[in-house]
Chain A
Amino acid sequence: MTTIQETETDERKIVTFTLGTQMFGIDMRSLIEIREWEEPTPLPSVPAFIKGVTNLRGSVVPVVGLSERLGWAPSVLHPRSCILVVSIAGRQAGFLVDEVADIVVINGGDIQPAPDVEVNDESVIAGLVKIERRTTDTETTEAMVLLLDLDALSLIRHLTDLAA
């Protein structure tokens, strides 16, 4: 499943990562880079999920605790914690995630719409998709990936909502 091939238009590459025990995915095209966790410079008067700002090759980029942003418990930092730097509508942001798993090609047709129940921010989940996940060299298991809608995670948009 990990063969990276851009063949049909309906196939898309996603980056999968974990927050706690749950697996998430974002569109590969939005990813700029993956960085090691580095303590960001804290900012005053921002929501708690904005951890601060960091220096990304000369730009001042906000770092977001994605887990808190999605309403889960804050991530506990560990050696494999890392920052996914993504571009959302031309602005850059870093997402703190527990561990980056894989790059997977999925078929657009396999994405199921997110059930619009319970979750705080159901709008940030663009859909669900099942992938096969390698557990050992020989075995694979199925795993459910929550695809994130990055536009809905835009910091600007969120803060505008807050202000409104």
Chain B
Amino acid sequence: MSTGNDELDEIQAIFFEECAEGLAVAEQGLSAMAAGDVSADVIAGVFRAVHSIKGGSGAFGHAALLAFSHRFENVLDEVRAGHIAASAEVTKVMLNAFDILSDHVAAAQGTAAVPADATMLEQLDAILEHKGMPGAAAPAPAAPAAPASAAPVAEDDGFGFVPVAAAVDDFDPFGFEPVAIDLDDLAPAEPQAWTVRFGPSRAALANGSEPLLLIRELESLGGAIVAVDATALPGLRDLDPEESYLVWTVSLPGTVAETDIRECFDFVAPDSVIEITQDAVTETPIVVEAPAAQAIEAPMLTLVETSTAVVAPVTATTTAAEVRTAEPAAQTIRVDLSKLDQLLNLVGELVIRGSILSDRLSPVDQERVELPELSRLTRQIQDNVMSLRAQPIKQAFSRVPRMLRDLMAETGKKVVLETSGEMTEVDKGVIEKIGDPLTHMIRNAVDHGIESTDERIAAGKPAEGTIRLSAEQKGARIVVRVSDDGRGINRERVRAKAIEKGIISADAQLSDEEIDSLICAPGFSTAETISNISGRGVGMDVVRSNVEALGGRVEIHSTPGEGTTFVMALPLTLAILDGMIVRLGDQRYVVPLANVIETVRPETGQVKPTSPTQEVIELRGSYLPIRRVDEMFGFAANDRRSPEESVVIIVESDASGHVGLMVDTIDNRREVVIKSLEDNLHPIRGLGGATILGDGSIALILDIDALVAASGNHSKFALKGMAA
């Protein structure tokens, strides 16, 4: 192989990306099938996805993944062909098989251990063997566990479903073998055998599309090489050992479906020679009987003598193109994410330059049509670039069904998932980061929210719990809701627990919402027994801190006995922040709008000192602590402004609740492009980054949570994330 390790890694990375996409498609299809949509399109979609994974896994030598996906594909193929009915039981087994397939992909990626798939393979084989669930349509829950090899006809007799099985057998006279790899078992050429001429593209070997694998695939369909055309082979001197010159003719039995043959060529370069003809006559006499492997491993040495040094150009046939166009896939290209980031950065720059330009022009010139036009265009470009990074939130939702199945198995609870708005588009960075919070919320809902089946029935609820997962865009935010119809938050217990853990004092007066939000307090867990699921030492506090780190917020709405809803409000993008520009001394800062509750211009006497360095503001009867950003940062100006000349911004923070930030003035509210400090320096606690303002100067973006938390233990801010 000419590909170096780096290149190979790169191609592998693409393969895994494709796997992830394929798994998503397969899961979606299987879920649709489970929901009752067993149309040919859906089944074919699942089949194609698994088939692609199989194809790639073979090429990269992931044997376990290949073996499993192959068996899985066989079942899917039969379902697709209508030989196996896509019954609820079969779909259920396939969903479980899908889970194991995901595990196999993860194992191939090196992120998980190779899953134990023996039982699942037996189940799949059993389905293949019986053309449906062993025991046919029997809804017996024990059915999936019936091992294939030990499920003889006698057992079917026992169930009394022989007639059905026999009928299916009649319908399928060819007797498809579950594992078609044993090509020797297959009967040779039926009438109207297929003849496939395959000449890999010149660069096939360099591109990692090993022709041998393809020929093996054809062989697994029952094909045999009947001829090798070596006319394109140049003389030894001109021979590039890394190029591919040969054209193979493979004969396949007529029983093989044309689509199966075509699918073998799914992954070949478009300039390959592919001719598939159905002809009773094999026109070429058998020239080379050598197994494909030998021909590949030492092709140049063994075959050079037969070449007459005529370099016949390998012409691209249109057949390949036809195969391509048959695929309905939308046209997409893969772009390195960093290129998009760079583009977004540049566009952000353009916006800033635009406003600098505007600032420098006289008011009359600013009104001229060119400038608004220019800023409109710039804004459009910005929106477009941001939309390039946007992905449907489905990607984050897609792991939920699997997780629910696992949770149901662990807890014995029955839960139905309803999702909506999964096509809502969010920045890729946001999607990557909401996976964990989402996982925790779902776990929490199943573990703490949904009651056991008995409990539900006793409470007069449906036996199956429901979890609703929804996403929608509201202005510049994405709102993700996870709601369950479980028991709701037991506020008395939460309160008792919070007092016990010292999170609140025993006499604290809390509203219902405040009690609900206690479950997001660090170190809080109300589960009576530490369960395997939610009690892993990470709880809802992680959800809150993760979401807030993204510039989002978590809200909890709960009605006892009816259920709980978690609401995550997230920014659409991580690159742009909605902020309030404030002025303090001769510096400007950005306060993320997500943290701002209200702004107050203090009246005389509203701000009172509690110590020489500390003040509080009286607001509607309660006292809130005040912080001066410049003092926290140690840039205190000599002449301290009086509170009456200042503005107090009430911000909400995780650790310290509501706090007032005192600033000189508020400039305006605008979107700012976030520039990270760690690009050239390192993260600084209390700062979320920096931005470049319209005049080209830099304003620091405040990280309210870290800032307010850090000012509690007043000293210096610790350096964070140094080693990273």
Instruction: Enumerate chain A interface residues (CB-CB to B < 8 A).
Output: 40-46, 50, 53-55, 58-62, 91-93, 155-156, 159-160, 162-163
Contacts and interface: CB of A to CB of B under 8 A. Distances in A.
Nearest to B350: A58
B717 interface: yes
B699 A41 contact: yes
A96 B697 CA distance: 18
A58 B692 contact: yes
B440 interface: no
15 contacts: A41-B699, A43-B687, A44-B717, A45-B717, A53-B698, A55-B698, A58-B346, A58-B692, A59-B675, A59-B679, A60-B692, A91-B680, A155-B681, A156-B682, A160-B723
A61 B716 CA distance: 23
B345 interface: yes
A54 B680 CA distance: 11
Given A59-B675, A60-B679, A62-B681, A44 B635 contact: yes
A114 to B, nearest CB: 27
Given A58-B692, A60-B677, A45 B686 contact: yes
Contacts of A50: 681
A58 B345 contact: yes
Interface in B630-647: 632-635
Interface residues of B, number: 34
Interface string B594-637: 00000000000000000000000000000000000000111100
Nearest to B689: A60
Contacts of B352: 58
Contacts of B684: 43-46
Contacts, number: 86
Contacts of B632: 44
Interface in B661-701: 675-677, 679-682, 684-687, 689-690, 692, 696-700
B187 interface: no
B458 to A, nearest CB: 57
Interface in B109-165: none
A58 B349 contact: yes
A6 to B, nearest CB: 29
B587 interface: yes
Interface in B431-460: none
A60 to B, nearest CB: 5
Contacts of A155: 680-682
B365 to A, nearest CB: 25
Contacts of B329: none
Nearest to A94: B680
Contacts of A162: 719
Contacts of A55: 692, 696-698
Contacts of A45: 633-634, 684-686, 716-717, 719
A62 B677 CA distance: 9
A156 B689 CA distance: 17
B717 A92 contact: no
Contacts of B722: 156, 159-160, 163
Contacts of A160: 722-723
A44 B627 CA distance: 15
A53 B587 CA distance: 12
B61 to A, nearest CB: 35
A60 B634 CA distance: 21
Taking each of B633, B699, B722, which has the highest tally of chain A beta carbons within 10 Å of its own beta carbon?
B722
A53 B693 CA distance: 13
